[in-house]
Structure 1
Amino acid sequence: MSETDSQTDSEPESEPAPTPQTGGVREVKSAGRTVELLEVLAERGNRPARLRLAEELGVPRSSMYALLQTLIDRGWVRTDATGSLYAIGIRALLTGTSYLDSDPLVRAAHPYLHEASDALGETIHLARLDGADVVHLATRESHEYVRTFSRVGRRLPAHAGALGKALPAERPDELFPEGGLEQLTPNTHTDRAVLAADLAAIRERGYAVDREEGVTGIAGFGFALRHEAPATDAISCSVPVARLTEEHERQIVAVMREVRAKIEATASRR
């Protein structure tokens, strides 16, 4: 990879100076470029990219083409019959599956996610904080309705929805970067003062609530897992607002609190 870069770019293999993010070690340019490309392809989902992606990433087309061909050969990128469209490859799936299989919290939480879903008849999620987003690690779908967008690996802004909001409410540091907050529905909190007040209420209440803030027609109840401090993982229950009554809401909160305690106890023992 580095030989190709040097032949096509005439650029040095490493950055000119260490950065705090790399702990004082110089970043390898070809490795950083590869990771950046894979992340961009993953974010595009079902929208394959073309070679002009090179301009977006600031990479010469010759280098991007060589990098894509290397990743295609190794299964990290796939292309169509014309060889002009590129998407994430099966190797990414295998690596992601390995991450989930080896994660002790995911293994510990699985039976309790099923327990909550069976008790409530609703969809239950487990997610982890990643920057200003949350990533779904496990989902137990409701038998009453199917949410095609609740797949494992889905990334959502932490400010939009109970599953995400439960985590920044536990953290004393500023989580959200400068700039505007993405609006997913008309009910999403995009005003920082309104969001801050909501997070304060979550801390006092002990769990997060959203009413169609992340998905229209869906209410959510999120609970941070406090076996670590600050919390990085959370569970939530999602329910269609059409069948959310006050009695069902009380049942959701009671069951989810009990399930949270069980997961925290199991995770602490492990």
Structure 2
Amino acid sequence: MRREEIEASSTVKSADRTLDLFELLARWGREMSHAEIAEALDIPKSSLTKLIRNLTDRGYLRFVPETKGYRLGDAILKLAQQSNQLRSLIACAEPVLGDITQQTAESCALNQLKGEQVEVVATVVSQQRLQSHMRLGDLAPLYAVSGGKAILAFLPDVMRAEYMRSVSFERFTKNTIGTKKALLNELESVRANGFAHSLEEFTPGIVGLGVPILSSTGFPLGSLNLAIPAVRYSPEIGERSIAILKASAVRIQRQYLAE
């Protein structure tokens, strides 16, 4: 077996052990000692010690001194809460997306931050013959699409600064933003005006308009965007579409925060 295959096999084995440990503690319902875990999962104690130390350091396990045992940590709960929050946001947004498309006759989507990209998590497609398809799971760079810029502009300063340090630009079309200075200038405009646009910057022939959905603290929970074929776009349509998007974002925000 080659070295690469051995390393891959070891990685998969470690991942399996981690998942087995999480499932064991979730089923058991109380703290378990190092010895109990090792026996239940048939893991060598030396290997288990390294695994537990790493998971405890990262908050996925918690050591309870009174029982000298381990239980699932807060990081696991946070992951579950984030998953529930995403489902809740999608549930709030889905009927609104339908209304947006009904009012504009264009395809629209709900997007969320995923690393240094933006991901489509819900979408409604226009019924017009000439339409833009935004599929669930589609990813795009934050700097290249309206939904990404709408999120990026409202991120906390430290998160946006970290992104700006690491971002590298790919030219998807002749209109794609290609410098940090140009991006920073545009993000300032997005914050001032409350909306973002992408003028054939990611997909030739498509104009994107996007607005953020903000939490009570101003953090971008996600964004709404419209994808309009450039042949149907005009300043008047843009102005009307932005007003619809902004009102829709407020509607989703109010319902989400009320839950």
Q: Which TM-score applies when normalising by structure 2?
A: 0.66
Say if 1:187 and 1:21 are closer, same or farther in 2 by CA, change over 3 A: farther
CA contact (8 A) 1:139 1:152 kept: yes
SS at match of 1:232: strand
1:159 to 128, 143, 153: 143
What is the identity, as a one-letter code, of the residue corresponding to 1:232? Answer: L
Per the TM alignment, residue 20 of structure 1 is displaced from its structure 2 partner at its CA by 10
Q: How far apart in 2 are the matches of 1:230 and 1:101?
A: 14
SS at match of 1:257: helix
CA contact (8 A) 1:123 1:139 kept: yes
CA contact (8 A) 2:107 2:124 kept: yes
Query: What's 2:100 paired with?
Result: 116
Q: Which runs of 5+ in 2 are unaligned?
A: 1-8, 15-46, 62-82
The answer to whether 1:264 aligns with 2:246 is no
CA contact (8 A) 1:158 1:165 kept: yes
Spell out, residue by residue over 1:1-36, the C-alpha distance to the aligned partner (whole angstroms, 9 max, x if none).
879859xxxxx68579849993487xxxxxxxxxxx
SS at match of 2:153: helix
Structure having the larger proportion of residues in helix: 2
Q: How far apart in 2 are the matches of 1:2 and 1:246?
A: 57
Per the TM alignment, residue 184 of structure 1 is displaced from its structure 2 partner at its CA by 2.0
2:89 to 105, 116, 137: 105
The answer to whether 1:139 aligns with 2:120 is no
Per the TM alignment, residue 217 of structure 1 is displaced from its structure 2 partner at its CA by 0.6
Q: How far apart in 2 are the matches of 1:151 and 1:127?
A: 11
Query: What's 2:109 paired with?
Result: 125
CA contact (8 A) 1:100 1:106 kept: no
Say if 1:121 and 1:16 are closer, same or farther in 2 by CA, change over 3 A: same
Query: What's 2:199 paired with?
Result: 211
CA contact (8 A) 1:169 1:202 kept: yes
Query: What's 2:75 paired with?
Result: none
CA contact (8 A) 2:132 2:229 kept: no
The structure number with the bigger radius of gyration is 2
CA-based RMSD of the aligned residues comes to 3.2
Q: How far apart in 1 are the matches of 2:238 and 2:255?
A: 26
1:250 to 222, 239, 258: 239
What is the identity, as a one-letter code, of the residue corresponding to 1:127? Answer: N
Say if 1:20 and 1:219 are closer, same or farther in 2 by CA, change over 3 A: farther
The 10-residue stretch of structure 1 (177-186 or 117-126) with the greater mean CA deviation from structure 2: 177-186
Say if 1:179 and 1:266 are closer, same or farther in 2 by CA, change over 3 A: closer
Between Structure 1 and Structure 2, how many residues are aligned? Answer: 193
What is the identity, as a one-letter code, of the residue corresponding to 1:263? Answer: I
1:22 to 41, 44, 58: 58
Q: How far apart in 2 are the matches of 1:243 and 1:5?
A: 54
Q: How far apart in 2 are the matches of 1:221 and 1:20?
A: 43
Query: What's 2:180 paired with?
Result: 192
Query: What's 1:237 paired with?
Result: 226
1:170 to 150, 154, 169: 154
Query: What's 1:28 paired with?
Result: none
Q: Which TM-score applies when normalising by structure 1?
A: 0.63
Per the TM alignment, residue 234 of structure 1 is displaced from its structure 2 partner at its CA by 0.5
Q: How far apart in 1 are the matches of 2:11 and 2:144?
A: 44
